[in-house]
Amino acid sequence: MAVKQALEGIKVADFSWFAAGPICAEAMGTHGATVVRVESESHMDGLRGVAPFPTGKTGYNVSGWYNNYNANKLNVTLNLNTDKGKELALRLVEWADVFITNITPRVIERWGLNYDDLKQEREDIIAVYQPMQGADGPHRDFLGFGAVLGPITGINHLTGFPSRAPSGLGTNYPDYVINPMHTLTAIMAALHHRNKTGRGQRIELSQLESVVASLAPAVMDYMANGRVATRSGNRLPHAAPHGAFPCQTIKIATPFGEADEARWCVIACFSDEQWSSLKSAIGNPDWADDRFETLAGRREHEDELEEKLGEWTIGQFPEDVMTTLQAAGVPSAVVQNARDLLDSDEHIRERDYYVYLDHPEAGRTAYDGPGFRLSKTPAEYRTAGCMLGEHNEQVCKEILGLSDEEIADLMVEQVLY
């Protein structure tokens, strides 16, 4: 007998786009919920046009970004700028337990999808809104994505090197980690509350506030000490060494021929004991003298410390540095790239983290595995990323209860498209 999944029977109407909403909805689908993703050709998810694409393949259905965040979903295309499209959207809400959107408040208002509107269709609906800076306040209608959230939440100010401009994290980090998981936690709490009381509720997750919550140490430092934390590169005030060190390069094939690829490892010592173990592991070199025996001394001579450690690591592969130092009890790891994660990392491979799914247009590709594992009700990846309008007929017939004639009329009127 198949193991029942944790969210089996829960129905989700996913009106979100890009990442913060879709990742949350996908997590629910991966744990058994039925998720219907709503798009239209006039308002499709912008990620559909963003690389990477499989070699030689183009179109709205082959983006690796989009597909990775939209597995285990049904997809229906509704034109919400039409009265009939809005009517069908509300019928979908009547079916759903959870409604999710991260589209800007003014658009949600125009489409008639505010909480008061949804409650008229289903009194116990759990309606989730993820406005970038909240549903009220002077910046409620400001536009932006993760690339905007990084700077305004303070993340960019803390990332990079002190002599350079703020660099950020190189990806829209809030969209992919903090926002969707805070939202998922809120939904689980709301479902629990509904199970006990029979009442739904409105969830508002300000993406700004969700991210600011992760900057507590910097905020507390200013509040308590009047200090404004700033960029420090890879260094920390309470650890030394603490950084990325160059290792032996490798040859890789590129479209332009063979090339050298830089390789790196990270090393961190958070105590004098770890520093002593590091010294022993690298053969107690003469340069590692009494100046480095304390954290204060290592911090005072940190430039020289990093230079000397780099001279030791440069002749070795990062995997060997990691293995040697980890065996000595010193935190160390390879700075991995995508090839490492998919092909070389024996730990991830043995744990079967990546899931490979067959997509009708994109082919067989890797999908992120579950962010958490449940021993009794494990995640299940049933279908690859949904194609635009792939399940129009199924959703219209099985969920909305429309006839073939009604579906044909909606297509002619460009309500379904």
pLDDT in tens, 371-394: 999 999 999 999 999 999 999 999
Please state the φ and ψ torsions of residue 173, each to the nearest 5 degrees. Answer: -50, -45
What's the fold here for domain 11-214+355-412?
Rossmann fold (3.40.50)
Kindly tell me if the per-residue pLDDT of 259 is higher than 70: yes
Kindly tell me if the per-residue pLDDT of 309 is higher than 70: yes
* Of 16, 15, 70, 20, nearest in space to 175 by CA: 20
CB 98 within 8 A of CB 187: yes
> What percentage of the chain has pLDDT greater than the value 70?
99
> For this structure, is 117 an active site residue?
no
Looking at 3.30.1540.10, 1.10.101.10, 3.30.2090.10, 1.10.150.120, the CATH number of the domain 242-335 comes to: 3.30.1540.10
Question: Lowest-confidence range among 60-69, 184-193, 249-258?
Answer: 249-258
Kindly tell me if the per-residue pLDDT of 161 is higher than 90: yes
Return residue ranges of the chain for CATH 3.30.1540.10. 242-335
Confidence of residue 315 (pLDDT cuts 50, 70, 90): very high
Query: Pick the catalytic residue: 136, 175, 320, 345?
Result: 175
Kindly tell me if the per-residue pLDDT of 1 is higher than 60: no
391-408: b or e for each residue (b if 16 or more CB lie within 10 Å)? bbeebbeebbebeeeebe
Mean pLDDT score across all residues of the chain: 95
CB 407 within 8 A of CB 396: yes
Return residue ranges of the chain for CATH 3.40.50.10540. 11-214+355-412
* Of 175, 158, 153, 21, nearest in space to 98 by CA: 21
Measured distance CA(393)–CA(46) in Å, rounded: 24
Per-residue pLDDT, averaged over 349-366, amounts to 97
Confidence of residue 35 (pLDDT cuts 50, 70, 90): very high
* Paired tokens of 143: 């536009």
Confidence of residue 132 (pLDDT cuts 50, 70, 90): very high
pTM: 0.94
pLDDT in tens, 172-181: 888 888 999 9
